[in-house]
Amino acid sequence: MLRLAIQSALSVLTLCGIGFCFVAIWSARRFRKSMSDEQAPTAFAPAVSVLKPIKGADAESYDAFRSHCVQDYTNDYEIIFGVNDSADPAIPLVQKLIAEFPARNIRLVICSEIFGTNRKVSNLIHLLREAKHDYVIVNDGDIHVPAEYLTSVMSGFASPAVGMVTCLYRGRPGNTLASRLEALGISTDFAAGVLTARYMEGGLRFGLGSTLAMRRAVLEKTGGLEAVVDYLADDYQLGKRIADAGFKVELAGIVVQTSVPPYSFREFWRHQLRWARTMRISRPAGYRGLVLTYPLPWSILLVLIAPGVWWSWLLLIAASMARTATAYNVGWLTLRDRFLFRDLRLLPLRDVLALATWICSYAGNSVSWRGERFRLKGGRMLPISQTQPRSGVESSNPASAQAQRR
């Protein structure tokens, strides 16, 4: 009797996961249709300040920084970089950028004063004080953008009802298995969840760290950056507060790219667990619902428990087809992830690890971030301990340096 109950439960979970795949495919198609139905970006192109809090550097950093300097934008924009440490290895790259683009308004700010536990947001408070324009864009240091990025993002503010514009992103994996698994998850799972939330909830109610474009007046109306300086998921909090204030959070039609560090498996697991626990605490109801979005792991477990039952194999085949279709519709047709087909065979492993992460996220509230340990309480970070990296780690270990910036 117990065996039959377990088989029935796993079958229901698999069917729910397959259903989610169909919703994700539909949501991705709706997004692509809405982008194709829109005419060329509007002529609305206000002056904008691009704020980039950075920590550490790797081989991809300069190209990522440089992509912001070669924008086909019709109005003025400035780029302001911020670091905590005057010896940060990213500083020479910013200086090189300033030398390469002397006509571009590029500045570097040393953000020595700390305003809260989230050092990135603390840096942003400094940078916002230096910004001279009424619109600001915040994105992570490892984000590489196409030349039409500013035009696409800022055109979203043509409607005064829009308070934030954010962007989907794809991952460029490093040369390790863990890095490839994370990039695959971004393209086949994370982006699918964002697109599904956009349509199921009648619009986004959060932002993505790949791009947080905001009206300065709206940001100030919601309490400013100071209101989220102790939160780990600052991108989520900023988007939520802007949506709660009655403004729209729009998803731009442009897709940007992030460089995924060459993680070791341990670094990959810590990063996934940090994200999972952050989302569990920030968005508890939606996070609990993720248990219904894993058709492959549940169907694999069903076959292992009931290998002699014909319909268990049928469900496994259906789950595999649904996940492959989702990966194709979201990862390729929407994000144009050129690594997708190479790594698609890793999808079962990636999904099994994702479910394991979901389960383990309920085992505690502590996370590791930028060399420190924190306990999460209501989304806020409470320091537990601080570990100082050995001298030279940030400059000699690209994975560690880049991982700390994320």
Strands 48-53 and 135-138, how do they pair?
A: parallel
Yes or no: say if 285 and 177 are a contact pair by the CB < 8 Å rule: no
Chain segment 168-204, per-residue pLDDT in tens: 999 999 999 999 999 999 999 999 999 999 988 888 9
Specify the DSSP element, H or E, that contains 395. Answer: helix 393-396
What's residue 13's pLDDT?
A: 97
Chain segment 24-74, per-residue pLDDT in tens: 999 999 999 988 766 565 678 999 999 999 998 888 999 999 999 999 999
What is 279-307 written as a DSSP string?
Answer: HHHHSHHHHHGGGGS-HHHHHHHHHHH-T
CA–CA dist 143, 312 (Å, integer): 42
What's residue 367's pLDDT?
A: 87
**pTM for the full model?**
0.89
Token pair recorded at residue 199? 């349509």
The domains of the chain are located at 16-406
Yes or no: say if 263 and 176 are a contact pair by the CB < 8 Å rule: yes
Yes or no: say if 67 and 97 are a contact pair by the CB < 8 Å rule: no
What's residue 156's pLDDT?
A: 93
What is the rounded average pLDDT of the residues 342-348? Answer: 97
Chain segment 68-122, per-residue pLDDT in tens: 999 999 999 999 999 998 899 999 999 999 999 999 999 999 998 999 999 999 9
- The neighbour count for residue 47, using CB atoms within 10 Å, is 14
Task: Tell me the pLDDT band of 391, cut-offs 50, 70 and 90.
Answer: very low
Helices (H), 160-264: 177-185, 191-200, 216-221, 234-244
What's residue 282's pLDDT?
A: 85
What's residue 406's pLDDT?
A: 52
Q: Which fold has domain 16-406?
A: Spore Coat Polysaccharide Biosynthesis Protein SpsA; Chain A (3.90.550)
